[in-house]
Amino acid sequence: MFQSRRPPYTMHGVLHFLQHEWSKYEMEKAKWEMERAEMQARISFLQGERKGQENLKADLIRRIKMLEYCIKQERAKNYRLTHNGEDPPEYEETENESANGILAKVDAYATEGGSALGWKQGRQLLKQYLQEIGYSEQILDVRSFRVKNLLGLIPQVNRSSVILSFIRFCFHETLFSDSEPDEHDIPRVGLDSEAAEALEKFDFLHEQSSGGGTGCDDWAAVDQNESLRAAKWTVKMTLRSHLDAIRAMQFHPVQPVLITAGEDGTAKLWNLDGGKDKSGSGADIEPVYTFRGHLGPVLCMDLSPTGDHLFTGGRDGVICCWNVPSTTSDPYEAYDPKVLTERLCGHKDAIWSIAYHSSDNRLVSSSSDGTVKLWEPGIHFSIRPYSNIYVTPGSGITRILSHPTMPLTITAGDDRKIRYFDNNTGRLTHSAVAHVEGISSLAIDPNGLYLLSGSHDGSLRMWNMEKRVCLQEISAHRKKYDASVTCVAFHPSRPLIGSAGADSLAKVYCPASA
């Protein structure tokens, strides 16, 4: 009788039960996915915060060690002045010496300083040294400091200065040296692993120099190996939207924006921040805007110093003047006729080079018709043509650069050589074969320390301007119709370089540590 009252199972009831359980499972799964995403975001935030704390900790430790070193050298100098030139006693560190012992050793130097007057003079001298080297803002800007020093733009600092030598040595060691232990490593008892790892980069501070110990020998060794310690460049992203060879490229003066122009008759605007989440050699991003106005290949271009105006020249003999749109605009917006401001017609053949002068609002163009024309945007005819072109026999020059800070002109050509000329005397100061095949393009960084060259052998080479040596070679582009790399560029304000080639690809590179 009890069994007869139990409701019988029906197909409808079973399906309803399964649907209910399935919806319940889906809700729990969605809830779990939300919690998982929240936890992952939390983990990423904590990891970033931890990394920031580690960087801050390492920076503070570096500053502490720098000041400790300065104090030690000042105490040693005062000791020699008060003890008839005798060297201060050297204290050998034992393996059982702890971190407290190291700090006590620094304090011991403070007590050796002599009178309170000597201590005060040493402190004032230390402040003067720190002001001369720029302390926190300019300690890491050693390269620009060296260039300005060579050009006489800053007060000269004594070359035997212990502090300046140490700052330079510390900068290069922390950026480019390995942290492998050697026989001079000092065990650090009582320090956590993170602090020990950060301090390993400064073990050279405990090495006692012979004699007076000015530190100049250390700096000479670093300067000799500077080229070997340069940061290596790797591919950050590859831009694939062009349908034919790319002839010109240029970075925005401030923003992470790149403009390329190619033989497909278009110029393209790229927002490099759009591919930062998928950076790598295979990262693909779409152009923000495509400039269409030429009836043939676009061969050259130039940007205004503010990055608001773009000028392109093509094989059709026309110069197009553009307003650069915002990088946040929708790539699929309707055509805006205000982007193309005007077309300058006057050349009878292909335009191979243009340059914009912002202060005079003038534009200079050179063409295969044998003329160089001066334009003023807004006036639809050339202000002044120049047709006395002298063509030199032999191998052609493909690129001419002017050094940003020194009176130096650099040329490259089909004979595979890079030549350096002194602007004051006009003499050739250096010449060297730089590539296996003809050199197609050159670029120099804004500080004038590095030179980038591209060749039809498919490679890029980074050069040290001071020593004229190659720091790195990068296999960049494939060959197409005996052409490979067509143009290279440095970003004016960011650690980015770019290259474009006949394979229709543009590549952006960044330091391997970035």
- Quick: pLDDT tens for 363-421: 888 888 888 888 887 765 565 555 555 555 555 788 888 888 888 899 988 888 889 99
Q: Is the pLDDT of residue 118 over 90?
A: no
pLDDT at 21: 92
349's CB contacts (< 8 A; 6+ apart) are: 317, 367, 368, 369
CATH number at residue 480: 2.40.10
Question: Tokens 């390993």 sit at which residue?
Answer: 200
DSSP letters of 115-172? SHHHHHHHHHHHHHHHHHTTHHHHSS-HHHHHHHHHHT-S----TT-HHHHHHHHHHH
Return the half-sphere exposure (C-beta side, CA atoms, 13 A cut-off) of residue 218: 23
Nearest to 207 by CA among 418, 65, 310: 65
Q: Is the pLDDT of residue 347 over 80?
A: yes
Asked if 282 contacts 237 with a C-beta cutoff of 8 angstroms, the reply is no
Q: Is the pLDDT of residue 125 over 50?
A: yes
Domain span at residue 53 reads: 29-86
Question: Tokens 């969605």 sit at which residue?
Answer: 30
Mean residue pLDDT of the chain comes to 75
- The residue out of 86, 112, 127 marking a domain boundary is 86
Find the mean pLDDT for residues 301-328: 88
Nearest to 371 by CA among 392, 345, 339, 348: 348
Structure tokens at 390: 């002298």
Residue 47 placed within a domain: yes
Per-residue HEC secondary structure of 165-194 comes to HHHHHHHHHHHHCCCCCCCCCCCCECCCHH
Render the burial of 356-366: b for 16+ CB within 10 Å, e for the rest: beeeeeebbbb
Q: Is the pLDDT of residue 198 over 70?
A: no
Q: Is the pLDDT of residue 492 over 70?
A: yes
Structure tokens at 270: 């790229």
Residue 499 placed within a domain: yes
Find the mean pLDDT for residues 23-30: 92
Find the mean pLDDT for residues 273-295: 72
Q: Is the pLDDT of residue 203 over 60?
A: no
Task: Give the sign of the dihedral formed by CA 324, CA 327, CA 328, CA 332.
Answer: positive
Residue 294 placed within a domain: no
Residue 392 placed within a domain: no
More confident site: 269 or 335: 269
Amino acid at residue number 279: S
Q: pLDDT category, 230, cuts 50, 70, 90? A: low
What φ, ψ does residue 177 adopt, rounded to 5°?
A: -90, 155
Q: Is the pLDDT of residue 189 over 50?
A: no
Q: pLDDT category, 32, cuts 50, 70, 90? A: very high
Q: Give the DSSP letter of residue 98.
A: B
> Quick one: what percent of the chain has pLDDT higher than 70?
66
Question: Tokens 């605009």 sit at which residue?
Answer: 329
pLDDT at 211: 42
- The residue out of 37, 62, 86 marking a domain boundary is 86
pLDDT at 22: 93
- The residue out of 86, 102, 133 marking a domain boundary is 86
DSSP letters of 268-322? EEEEGGGGGGG-STT-----SEEEE--SS-EEEEEE-TTSSEEEEEETTSEEEEE
Q: pLDDT category, 232, cuts 50, 70, 90? A: confident
Measure the CA–CA gap between 329 and 325, rounded to whole angstroms.
7
pLDDT at 193: 58
Find the mean pLDDT for residues 307-314: 90
Q: Is the pLDDT of residue 154 over 90?
A: no
More confident site: 88 or 344: 344
Q: Is the pLDDT of residue 228 over 70?
A: no
128's CB contacts (< 8 A; 6+ apart) are: none
Structure tokens at 80: 């020699």
pLDDT at 25: 93
Q: pLDDT category, 34, cuts 50, 70, 90? A: very high
What φ, ψ does residue 415 adopt, rounded to 5°?
A: -85, 10
Q: pLDDT category, 175, cuts 50, 70, 90? A: very low
Measure the CA–CA gap between 435 and 442, rounded to whole angstroms.
12
Residue 429 placed within a domain: no
CA angle 181, 182, 185 (to 5 degrees): 75
* Domains held by the chain: number: 2
> Quick one: what percent of the chain has pLDDT higher than 90?
13
Nearest to 68 by CA among 98, 110, 101: 110
pLDDT at 219: 44
Question: What is each CA distance from 58 to 52, 425, 477, 506, in whole angstroms?
Answer: 10, 48, 39, 37
Residue 192 placed within a domain: no
Residue 171 placed within a domain: no
Find the mean pLDDT for residues 41-56: 89
Residue 426 placed within a domain: no
The segment with the largest mean pLDDT, out of 2-6, 112-116, 286-290, is: 286-290
Find the mean pLDDT for residues 351-358: 87
pLDDT at 26: 92
DSSP letters of 404-459? SSSSEEEEEETTSEEEEEETTT--EEEEEE--SS-EEEEEE-TTSSEEEEEETTSE
Find the mean pLDDT for residues 266-282: 70
Q: Is the pLDDT of residue 295 over 50?
A: yes
Using DSSP bridges, classify how beta strands 428-433 and 417-422 pair: parallel, antiparallel or unpaired. Answer: antiparallel
Structure tokens at 100: 């407290």
CB atoms within 10 A of CB 395: 12
pLDDT at 138: 42
Find the mean pLDDT for residues 430-456: 88
Q: pLDDT category, 204, cuts 50, 70, 90? A: very low
Helix, strand, coil shares of the chain as percentages rounded to 5? Answer: 35, 30, 40
Q: pLDDT category, 273, cuts 50, 70, 90? A: confident
